[in-house]
Amino acid sequence: MATSQISIASNSISRFTNFASKPTSASNLFSIRPAIPRISTTRSLSVNSVANNQKQIVKDPISEEEDASSDSVASFTPDAASIAASIKYHAEFTPSFSPEGFDSPKAYFATAESVRDALIINWNATYDYYEKINVKQAYYLSMEFLQGRALLNAIGNLELSGPYAEALTRLGHDLENVAREEPDAALGNGGLGRLASCFLDSLATLNYPAWGYGIRYKYGLFKQTITKDGQEEVAENWLEMGNPWEIVRNDISYPVKFYGKVVSGSDGKKHWIGGEDIMAVAYDVPIPGYKTKTTINLRLWSTKVSPQEFDLSAYNAGEHSKAYEAHTNAEKICYVLYPGDESREGKILRLKQQYTLCSASLQDIIGRFERRSGRLVNWNEFPEKVAVQMNDTHPTLCIPELMRILIDVMGMSWKEAWDITQRTVAYTNHTVLPEALEKWNFELMQTLLPRHVEIIETIDKELIDTIVSECGTEDLDLLQKKLQEMRILDNFEFPASVMELFLKEEESSAVDSDFENEIKNEGDGIIDQVDETSTKEDESVNTEEEEEEEEEEEEETEEKVIKPKRSELLKPNPKLPAVVRMANLCVVGGRAVNGVAEIHSEIVKQEVFNEFYKLWPKKFQNKTNGVTPRRWIRFCNPELSKIITKWTGTDDWVLDTEKLAELRKFADNEDLQTEWRAAKRNNKLKVASLIKEKTGYVVSPDAMFDIQVKRIHEYKRQLLNTMGIVYRYKKMKEMSAEERKAKFVPRVCIFGGKAFATYVQAKRIVKFITDVGATINHDAEIGNLLKVVFIPDYNVSVAEALIPASELSQHISTAGMEASGTSNMKFSMNGCVLIGTLDGANVEIREEVGEENFFLFGARAHEIADLRKERAEGKFVPDPRFEEVKTYVRSGAFGPYNYGELMGSLEGNEGFGRADYFLVGKDFPSYIECQEEVDEAYRDQKRWTRMSILNTAGSFKFSSDRTIREYAKDIWNIRPVELPGK
């Protein structure tokens, strides 16, 4: 087995793909030119106070000349004066703006660069120490990291919010106003990316050695605008002014190859040659922990090609597009998150993104492992030093890529490489939706990644052998079922050895059939002889019963002829493409598979991957999601945080959320309830201002704030919510002013979320919500009794405002379809009462906060299949109130837009886009009756406040700190590493 070390010198030749690469040197991992000039040739950092020209020397925490006992992170807490001086310094000497003036955007950049100085000291120390002790690390690979704004989070974690606020006041600015200048990083879209960011926060806070790896998207998903036509998409401009939090590592770049061909060399190895070569360049973002010096890293990859790829002769000849074609092809990989994949080009671009993430990250991880190992690399120790977590199926190519590097570059045998891979990589499943379990066209993948397809084919062949060995060949029906469900390659030829098993069965059946026919013919002869002795009258008689029996026998014979042979069923369908089932590859190649909520993990085991679960039950785990209490209570809801600290007697709850349970003792205390309601109302006032700013609508802070914010999707059922609002509105219109005031509690119904650009039905739902809002909000007769607001371009910053102000939050997905959800946890933490189905983490939230503090409705997960079957059989009878709403919508009450397609999707018994697959009509009666219970509860503000307090008190389980501890213990096998400090 090869043990030679990959060169770590800059500009060295990489052996990962046998073409040029620029991996980094160890000493340069986090070494950058500091904002304040150095005054020494040693590794100390000097901080120059512009205000008074004083110099403070911060001793470097790690020095090779010192022994381990002297390793430490310098303890230096800046005051407002030194922070103000640092901000002024960056405004002058690290300029992103012209020297004139010092307005808010410029103040933001200078402030962020000042904070980054503090982070870099901890950042360098963290990884210097990890390098020194060669600790095992977890590497979290995700296509999304939805970070949100970094400034307030960073200074909060550094415990410098007060000094920074004072420093900016001295400079003529307000911290909150300056923080608003920061755009949200457009690196994600929904819960997947937000979860990943929460995990990084918890990893740093709990001192776990870890990295995040992702893609540096130039435009993110898109910026959503709402017009009279509904949702429109424009390119996100988050990088337009630059990003002060990132540091480009031009010395850290890795080659990534596409296309080409695979040849066998004289050395016996496979070589992937030719094709299209690009470079992945590292951009690093520091992730600070709370009340700790530990600062971990999020490494984002951007793509480019070398200047030599620019065709100067073509450019001079006027063929400009041809001249920079290679640059365009490379750069567009990182333009957009989830490019539309309706076209072949879109599919190729998505696959390129996924492979870029996997290849660059693994090269980086392996290079670090080799560097830390020294002269002699023991590859058997790789899984003891490295844990790779795939966040959903997007990073699945980690499996064949790691195999390719270990076999083709490191010279390992298949067995050695497969053992290492299976002990290194783990997979988190985030969905039960079939369309979200990625399947890649085999031919497309073979064209783009020919060597990886060879490896996947071998893995698939070994899997088939394992299934046959474990299942046996006695029950071929069962074997066929397992093979068709579990194979990685779908609609693909089976190996000859497998086909022979079924052909032998058919041959045996044919022999048996011939033998039976012979016996039958002999018997017929005997019968004929007997018949000859019969009377002529009997010969002429042919009863109706005998004729019917003969007809049935003929039909059975016809059926037997028509029924296809099993071997035919196993052959690929030439009308359908062969595909690679990425989720199956994850399960086969990973050491662990986890769902993200208890109910979801059971569905994963019993339905999605049941055959795999029966084969490898120990692989499957549950890791219920969590969210960071720092960002999602402590920083976004400071008023509530102060109340929690006051009544629990400590602020330890920020790190130990189990202390939130102490609030249960005071849930009926009138003083606490008064303070609680006051904090909620102040947050509602802020949201009322936000709504006015974003939409122009004026809403009353005295109304209930009813919020549903999440990705727009049919299974999340924003349509159910909106139809419930329409029913409410119609009933109001049928009543007198006195009646409706007595019947209904005033509500502001708030929506937010993006519909994917090519998801037509989701965009119709957005249009429907905005049309309903436009009609209701301008109805003077209804006034403040009901308002409907769609906040455009929903993101983390909007969530940080909405969630603290929420009173009712809707988590109403069709049962069994939401893996977990994380927004439900954030709402509950902030004292919001949930209305929802028994789906995802709702199940566990309801258990923790108390059934009486959760509004439950709708069908249960185990009922869904039978309900859909009932619908297909034409047995479903819709509730009259549901039909009433559909008729009202079609009447044109909400404008001239034709909602026939949208309403039609809720009708019929079968067919694509029909038959109400997500059971809106089935759950509608239960939903509106539950909403009546909500109104009743809200009228009793003492009861409602108690419910709110108990939601916060019961949310302690849903901290991402708890989730990360479980991952670290059960999957990654890593332990906290605290930096030595003074």
DSSP characters over 878-917:
--HHHHHHHHHHHTTTT-S---HHHHHTT-SSSSTT-TTT
Residue 38 confidence (pLDDT) above 80: no
Q: Mind listing the pLDDT tens digit for each residue in 438-486?
A: 999 999 999 999 999 999 999 999 999 999 999 988 898 899 999 999 9
Nearest CA to 305 among 283, 320, 327, 329?
Answer: 327
Q: Mind listing the pLDDT tens digit for each residue in 651-688?
A: 999 999 999 999 999 999 999 999 999 999 999 999 99
Q: Mind listing the pLDDT tens digit for each residue in 535-584?
A: 444 444 455 555 555 555 555 554 444 556 766 777 899 999 999 999 99
Q: Mind listing the pLDDT tens digit for each residue in 375-414?
A: 889 999 999 999 999 999 999 999 999 999 999 999 999 9
Provide the token pair at 432. Answer: 């039960």
What's the number of CA atoms in the CB half-sphere (13 Å) around residue 847? 12
**Residue 516: pLDDT band with limits 50, 70, 90:** low
pLDDT at 358: 98
DSSP state of 689: H
Mean pLDDT computed over every residue of the chain: 88
Q: Which residues pair with 298 in a beta bridge?
A: 212, 285
pLDDT at 29: 29
Residue by residue, what is the 3-state secondary structure of 313-373? HHHHCCCHHHHCHHHHHHHHHHCCCCCCCCCHHHHHHHHHHHHHHHHHHHHHHHHHHHHHH
Q: What is the mean pLDDT of residues 906-924?
A: 95
Q: What is the pTM of this model?
A: 0.88
Angle, helices 161-170/104-133, rounded to nearest 10 degrees:
150
Which residues in 584-615 are b (16+ Cβ under 10 Å) and which e? Answer: bbbbbbbbbbbbbbbbbbebbbeebbebbbeb
Q: What is the β-pairing status of strands 230-234 and 223-227?
A: antiparallel
H/E element holding 212?
strand 210-215
User: What are the residue numbers of the active site?
Assistant: 430, 710-711, 716, 822, 826
Provide the token pair at 190. Answer: 């929904």
- Given a contact cutoff of 8 angstroms between Cβ atoms, the answer to whether 338 and 217 are in contact is no
Q: Mind listing the pLDDT tens digit for each residue in 684-724?
A: 999 999 999 999 999 999 999 999 999 999 999 999 999 99
**Angle, alpha carbons 459-480-590 (nearest 5°):** 30
Residue 514 confidence (pLDDT) above 70: no
Map residue 782 onto helix, strand or coil: coil
More confident residue, 119 or 36: 119
Q: What is the β-pairing status of strands 439-441 and 489-490?
A: unpaired
Q: Is the dihedral of CA 124, 128, 134, 135 positive or negative?
A: negative
Please state the φ and ψ torsions of residue 593, each to the nearest 5 degrees: -130, 125
Q: What is the mean pLDDT of residues 355-359?
A: 98
H/E element holding 808?
strand 808-811
Q: How far apart are CA 963 and CA 285, in angstroms?
A: 23
Nearest CA to 256 among 354, 390, 141, 368?
Answer: 354
**Residue 58: pLDDT band with limits 50, 70, 90:** very low
DSSP state of 822: S
Q: What is the mean pLDDT of residues 580-592?
A: 97
More confident residue, 181 or 528: 181
For residue 261, count other CB atoms closer than 10 A to its CB.
11
pLDDT at 94: 87
Q: Which residues pair with 182 in a beta bridge?
A: none
**Residue 23: pLDDT band with limits 50, 70, 90:** very low
